[in-house]
Amino acid sequence: MTRFHSFILTMLITLLLPALTGASVQDRVYPVIGLAPDDGYPVWLADDVDNYLPLRTSQTSGLDWVFSDTDPEGNQRHWLIMADDSDPGGIHLVSLEAESVEPVVNFHGDTLTPPPPGVSLIPVTPGDGYDWEGIAYHPWSETVFIAQEGALSDIAIYIGQVSSAGIDIGSDGYGRAGETGLVPGYITNIRQLELPGFSDVFGPYLDQNVGIEGIACSEDRLFLGLESPHTMTDRFFDDLSTVMGIWKIDSGNPGNIDSCELIASHDTSGWTEILGDTVETICGLDALDNNHVVGLDRDNQEIFSVTFSDTGEFTGGRIFYLDTPGPGPLESDGCEEPVELPRLVKPSLESIALVPSGGTEITSFSVGVDYSIYVAVDPWAPGWALLTDEWRCENYESRLTDLLPAIYRYTVPFEVLFPGYVGDAESTD
């Protein structure tokens, strides 16, 4: 079946079948849902949008949740760590007000960005620079995993130690490991991980600028996803799958390779019968725990949620189609207000992070919790453009041309992300 026919069939089924969130995933055929961005999103990834040059970040391809807190005014904030795949290899800490209808992205210094290759002694070819394509924060050990793409010889997973910035956070600070008081200030001792079985899972597919773009971790699992083993042209015409690997890691010292073990690998074509569509690209991943993982399929403009057993076997999942308009124009752009948010050709969605709501009582990912799903754009010029000629604005389009990235947010309850599941047990709604 071609991509066109698959899309038409899936959309028809989406319209005809209601979302029965209490049913088991295995009982579904095409459990697809459409998601629209939350009010106020998307927004430009800049803390001063009117004067956005020079860019603080230009190509956000990695994203993860660090912690949430309450600021002095009583507003809940979400703190995220971002990786930039441009040559300087920027790694940034940003915060957003969780309940604001006009979200502002605040950048908190540039101390997380490592020195240039050669100076930093990170084993990356100096002439090729950094190409960070994914980042995953491991709060249980205060370490961070980073996926490097770029030159074939540099494609690998790196790990670094996160140290405190010495800054007090607001009240009710919490993260995946419970209450927290750590504001990341520096990433040090970055080194390459020789993961057992890495070449067995990904080796046949790695090439120049073709590597790992999805990376996520739970307390004792590491999840890695290949962007795609196929060319963009081939993926456009056919439903072509990609590959994911799952490793068991030492929760206290995830850099200890002696305790690391490859427990499962997956060709995503094996998920198609349950998901109703083929996951063609894995450009972002986030893990709620060992059993629940959410990913981003850039080429299909989709989020996929998948469940695994404790031994890494695929047990179910579903697909979410994303509405991805462009950010609204600024008053300073001096253009006519559009009737609706501008439609873009195909924004290049490349990173994803899930944040639970509820405050410090959230100690695990579970039923009854809503999730803010942040999705960031790594601008790609041909797709980062207006879709029609019905509305034009020169100043607005110059921001697209200058590759100013944006961030989307979607809110989804756990029961919708993972209907019928709580770990390996069924939900009892």
262's tokens = 């490859």
3-state secondary structure of 50: helix
pLDDT of residue 281: 97
Q: 424 vs 174, which has greater pLDDT?
A: 174
State phi, psi for 27 to the nearest 5 degrees: -85, -5
Q: Biggest alpha carbon distance in the chain?
A: 61
3-state secondary structure of 9: helix
pLDDT of residue 170: 82
What mean pLDDT do residues 410-422 have?
84
pLDDT of residue 28: 45
Confidence of residue 361 (pLDDT cuts 50, 70, 90): low
pLDDT, tens digit (0-9, with 9 covering 90-100), for 37-83: 999 999 999 888 888 877 777 889 999 999 999 988 888 999 999 99
Name beta bridge partners: 231: none
HSE-up (13 A, CA, CB side) for residue 221: 24
Asked whether the predicted pLDDT for residue 16 surpasses 80, the reply is no
Are 25 and 87 a contacting pair, CB within 8 Å? no
What mean pLDDT do residues 228-244 have?
87
Q: From its phi and psi, is residue 133 left (phi > 0), alpha (psi between -120 and 50) or beta? A: alpha
Asked whether the predicted pLDDT for residue 203 surpasses 60, the reply is yes
Taking the mean position of all CA atoms in its chain, how far away is CA 257?
25
* DSSP states along 111-160: TTSPPPTTTS--SS-GGG---EEEEEEETTTTEEEEEE-SSGGG-EEEEE
% of the chain beyond a pLDDT of 70: 88
Are 172 and 358 a contacting pair, CB within 8 Å? no
Name beta bridge partners: 244: 225, 266
pLDDT of residue 364: 56
Q: What is the mean pLDDT of the chain?
A: 86
pLDDT of residue 30: 52
Confidence of residue 399 (pLDDT cuts 50, 70, 90): confident
pTM (predicted TM-score):
0.90
Distance separating alpha carbons of residues 353 and 64, to the nearest angstrom:
5
CB atoms under 10 Å from CB of 133, counted, come to 28
Q: Where are the domains of the chain?
A: 3-417
DSSP structural state of residue 387: S
301's tokens = 């403009």
What mean pLDDT do residues 221-235 have?
91
* DSSP states along 84-119: E-STT--EEEEEEETT-SS---EE--STTSPPPTTT
- Among 2.115.10, 1.20.120, 2.40.10, 1.10.10, name the CATH number for the domain at 3-417: 2.115.10
Residue 407: in which H helix or E strand, if any? Answer: strand 406-413
CB atoms under 10 Å from CB of 335, counted, come to 16
pLDDT of residue 22: 32
Alpha helical stretches, state H, 162-221:
198-202
Q: From its phi and psi, is residue 233 left (phi > 0), alpha (psi between -120 and 50) or beta? A: alpha
pLDDT of residue 52: 80
Distance separating alpha carbons of residues 278 and 240, to the nearest angstrom:
7
pLDDT, tens digit (0-9, with 9 covering 90-100), for 134-190: 999 999 999 999 999 988 989 999 999 999 988 888 888 889 998 888 899 999 999
Give the pairing of strands 32-35 and 314-322: parallel
What mean pLDDT do residues 311-319 have?
95
Asked whether the predicted pLDDT for residue 19 surpasses 50, the reply is no
